[in-house]
Amino acid sequence: MLTTKHTQLIKQEAKRLGFEFCGISKAEFLEEEAPRLEKWLDKGMHGKMEYMENHFDKRLDPRLLVEGARSVVSLLYNYYPEQTQNPEAPKISKYAYGKDYHEVIKEKLKEFLNILKEKIGDVNGRAFVDSAPVLDKAWAKKSGIGWIGKNANLINKDRGSFFFIAELIIDIDLEYDGPIKDYCGTCTRCIDACPTEAIVEPFVVDGSKCISYFTIELKDTIPNEFKNKFNDWAFGCDVCQDVCPWNKFSMPHSEPQFNNKTGLLDYSSKDWNEITEEVFGNVFKNSPVKRTKYKGLKRNLEFIRKR
């Protein structure tokens, strides 16, 4: 009875806090993911993201992150924008139009945990949003709120893939959901459209060839072999999501903090290419784009400008 009551409470609160989908899994070792992750790392597909080599065991077992963990609550928060960029300007990923999602969603997760402690009692847990060794897509898949597509993104049948994934790992038993089937079928649009051929086979992305990796993670010079392949992406890349048929079901988000309020989306190519460090600091103060720093953004702009 208590597990049912607690499960219902969690799903109700998730909806109230603005999470569009919520699924729950038993906290246990991710047996299927272990060999996949090991193979991906052994092939060097993480490029220079050395942090991916750390905490291998913790990535696969949530009980090593939260003592006594019993359940993983997976949550999806929509970021698909109604706003669009100036089509002639360098492009940034849709998730970066507004305020940094880490800050927005962490506040919601903090409130979520506080509510659970208030209404259930002694609940121990941690909240995660893309900032710790948690295989968020694997847990979301396990909980049935989507399947992992051929572009390695989580896809939801009702609303596509433009979502942030977050988790609560908690030490109470709940009613667990199960995975759903894969609905990619024979479609290969994401593989065919990838400008740098980073999707090396269905469901496997070589991160070291991905435009998002080059424009955000890589701190060195971008290899010349990828010149003229970026399709004007200056920060991140949405190509494999934009071509996915399931994203015809995407609906504009309702999170005001994800709306752009700096005029960035109206910037022309000239505005972008003449951006100063001071303007960068003001425009991207609370944006995910600040992660690449001014020097990194200028490098990216220079790289896509050269023909």
Q: Which residues are catalytic?
A: 130
The torsion of the CA quartet 136, 291, 77, 90, rounded to 10 degrees, works out to -120
CA angle (52 as vertex; 50, 54 as ends), nearest 5: 85
Q: What are the tokens at 182? A: 């894969």
Check residue 235 and give left, alpha or beta (phi > 0: left; psi -120 to 50: alpha): beta
**Cβ atoms within 10 A of the Cβ of 27, count?**
23
Collapse the DSSP code of 267 into the 3-class scheme (helix H, G, I; strand E, B; otherwise coil) and give the result: coil
| Interatomic CA distance for residues 229 and 212, integer angstroms | 13
Hunting for tokens 């009613």 — which residue is that? 175
| Interatomic CA distance for residues 223 and 159, integer angstroms | 36
Q: Which of 270, 196, 269, 267 is nearest to 230 (CA)?
A: 196
| Interatomic CA distance for residues 160 and 31, integer angstroms | 27
Pairing of strands 233-235, 91-92: parallel
Q: Which of 152, 150, 126 is nearest to 137 (CA)?
A: 152
